Amino acid sequence: MPSPPIKLQLDTVIIGGGIAGLWLANRLQSEGFSIALFEHKALGSDQTIASQGMIHGGMKYTLSGALTGASEAIAEMPQHWRACLCGEGDVDLRNTRILSDHFYLWSGDSIAAKLTSFLASKATRGRVDHVPDSHRPPLLRHPDFKGNLYKLVDIVLDVPSLITNLAHNIEGHSFLIDWTQAQLHKDVDGRVSLTMRQDDKEFEIHAQRFIFSAGQGNAHLLKQLGLNSPAMQLRPLQQVLVKHHHPYVFFGHCMGTDTTPRLTISSHKLNTHEQVWYLGGSLAEKGTVMEADQLIAAAQQELSELIPWVDLRYAEWATLPVTRAEPLQPNFMRPDNAFVAPAEGCNNLIVAWPTKLTLVPNLANQVLDILLKENIAAGELAESTRAITQLRQVLATPPIAHTPWELAFPPSMSAEDVLSLKFSTPADDDEGQD
């Protein structure tokens, strides 16, 4: 006779280990709730590892020449993250590397007059500074540079170190889930639970609240329960990666005539210490309908127009198709804020999309507000400790996702590797077989 399922009770179960799930797990843990986070691939997969790591204060949403809902919702975020990076915020990010403590906004030689005067106005004071020619970063310190240059108070984080830092803070509470052995259920009272079979044992996991923070995976998880609300929208992008030998480390948006930046550049080091520029902005939006070769040609054209003095003839190129997952908006607009809502038809399920890395503190606050409003308090410590111990015995810890640049440009063979290949001839192999 099969033994009865082992029942485990937790305060919160989070499904999806991108920035949303990891940040939320950190906050819930420090508020005293027991947590288990289930990830099906690697922590930070999909959007988080593919992001440019910019914690921005929203100035890029002012390219129409005015403050907008999006620019104001996000304005306080760099300050919030800075406190966390110093160990003085609501999440401890002292082990996260800062790639840059500023971000540039630069124009080609023709920038809309309305935007120029807006950036110089009182409305943006303290958030954006004009950069005099003498202070230009090395990439733009060329006599042919004719644009206007501004410096934003935004920060850029090294995303792999951010994921590692958040995962470390909740060590022992994140688990690799294999959905071929696990299933979500909804009972007649609308309560969600999770069952899984592992090492010949059957587990039944209950929680005061389940939270889906699986990015694009949220729609699929909801579907498993026969639900379709809150609904999701997808915005595909195709980023471009350029590996080159130039020393220019640069983080900035180039403004064009659209309200989205014409080009966004962030700089990332490979393990070999070579450098990759990661290109987004309008280029990546328009790139979704292009073949990789076509998009690379378009990127080469953009860079030769914007920074013609940089010789990229010997650069290596790659593209990354990636999809942004967000709550469905009227007319498919970009959402201004993080989204958190109870799932319709369930009474212990919350669904969340941060919509931007930057806004994830806001997502966690919204979840905590719901728990407070619904009088959810931390349960029995002994019971949750037993549940976590049982899970640790049967489930592995998920790894950290690899960056797109590591995957696009794997380390080339060392001289020693080449030599060993050269000497491993078919004749050698034959000899070995004898």
Ligand X SMILES: Cc1cc2nc3c(=O)[nH]c(=O)nc-3n(C[C@H](O)[C@H](O)[C@H](O)COP(=O)(O)OP(=O)(O)OC[C@H]3O[C@@H](n4cnc5c(N)ncnc54)[C@H](O)[C@@H]3O)c2cc1C
Output the six-digit token pair for 70: 């999006």
Q: Is residue 158 involved in binding ligand X (CB under 6 A)?
A: no
Task: Label residues 112-151 b or e (16+ Cβ within 10 Å = b).
Answer: eeebbebbeeeebeebbbebeeeebbebbeeeebebbbbb
| Least distance CB 113 / ligand X (angstroms) | 28
Identified binder of ligand X from the candidate list 10, 14, 36, 54, rule CB under 6 A: 54
Compute the residue count for the chain: 434
Interface region with ligand X, contact rule CB under 6 A, candidates 39-47, 267-275, 308-316, 381-389? 39-47
Identified binder of ligand X from the candidate list 137, 160, 354, 361, rule CB under 6 A: 354
CB of 112 or CB of 249, closer to ligand X = 249
CB of 73 or CB of 322, closer to ligand X = 322
Contact 173, 25 (CB under 8 A): yes
CB of 16 or CB of 230, closer to ligand X = 16
**Using CA atoms, how far apart are residues 98 and 82, in angstroms rounded to an integer?**
10
Helix axes 77-85, 360-373, angle to 10 degrees: 90
Identified binder of ligand X from the candidate list 5, 6, 41, 176, rule CB under 6 A: 41
| Least distance CB 88 / ligand X (angstroms) | 21
Phi, psi of 381 (to 5 degrees): -65, -40
Identified binder of ligand X from the candidate list 11, 39, 92, 158, rule CB under 6 A: 39
| Least distance CB 206 / ligand X (angstroms) | 18
H/E element, 418: helix 415-423
The contact pattern for ligand X, residues 238-277, with x = CB under 6 A and - = no contact, is: -x--------------------------------------
**Using CA atoms, how far apart are residues 401 and 407, in angstroms rounded to an integer?**
10
Helix, coil or strand: residue 279: strand
Interface region with ligand X, contact rule CB under 6 A, candidates 44-52, 113-121, 129-137, 388-396? 44-52
User: DSSP assignment, residue 410?
Assistant: P
**Using CA atoms, how far apart are residues 110 and 260, in angstroms rounded to an integer?**
16
CB of 67 or CB of 176, closer to ligand X = 176
Q: Is residue 177 involved in binding ligand X (CB under 6 A)?
A: yes
Q: What's at 188, amino acid-wise?
A: V
Distance of CA 314 to the CA centre of its chain: 30
Distance of CA 40 to the CA centre of its chain: 16
Pairing of strands 149-152, 128-130: antiparallel
Positions 181 through 240 that interact with ligand X (CB under 6 A): 213-217, 220-221, 237, 239
Identified binder of ligand X from the candidate list 18, 58, 78, 256, rule CB under 6 A: 18
CB of 16 or CB of 261, closer to ligand X = 16
Output the six-digit token pair for 310: 């940089």
Interface region with ligand X, contact rule CB under 6 A, candidates 91-99, 225-233, 307-315, 350-358? 350-358
CB of 145 or CB of 192, closer to ligand X = 192
Q: Is residue 16 involved in binding ligand X (CB under 6 A)?
A: yes
Identified binder of ligand X from the candidate list 12, 281, 324, 366, rule CB under 6 A: 324
| Least distance CB 268 / ligand X (angstroms) | 12
CB of 100 or CB of 145, closer to ligand X = 100
| Least distance CB 142 / ligand X (angstroms) | 26
| Least distance CB 205 / ligand X (angstroms) | 14
58: left (phi over 0), alpha (psi -120 to 50) or beta: left
Q: Say how many residues touch ligand X, by CB under 6 A.
A: 40
**Using CA atoms, how far apart are residues 349 and 189, in angstroms rounded to an integer?**
12
CA geometry: angle 35, 38, 40, nearest 5 deg: 170
Prior bond of 137 cis (ω within 30°): no
Q: What is the 3-state secondary structure (H, E, C) of 181-197?
A: CEEEEECCCCCEEEEEE
CB of 145 or CB of 317, closer to ligand X = 317
How far from 342 is each of 182, 369, 371, CA to CA, in Å? Answer: 23, 12, 11
Q: Is residue 160 involved in binding ligand X (CB under 6 A)?
A: no
DSSP codes, 194-219 = EEEEETTEEEEEEEEEEEE--TTHHH
CB of 239 or CB of 275, closer to ligand X = 239
Identified binder of ligand X from the candidate list 193, 358, 366, 384, rule CB under 6 A: 358
CB of 75 or CB of 120, closer to ligand X = 75
CB of 145 or CB of 395, closer to ligand X = 395
| Least distance CB 326 / ligand X (angstroms) | 8
In the complex, which residues of this chain contact ligand X (CB under 6 A)? Answer: 15-21, 38-41, 44-48, 50-54, 177, 213-217, 220-221, 237, 239, 280, 322, 324, 353-358
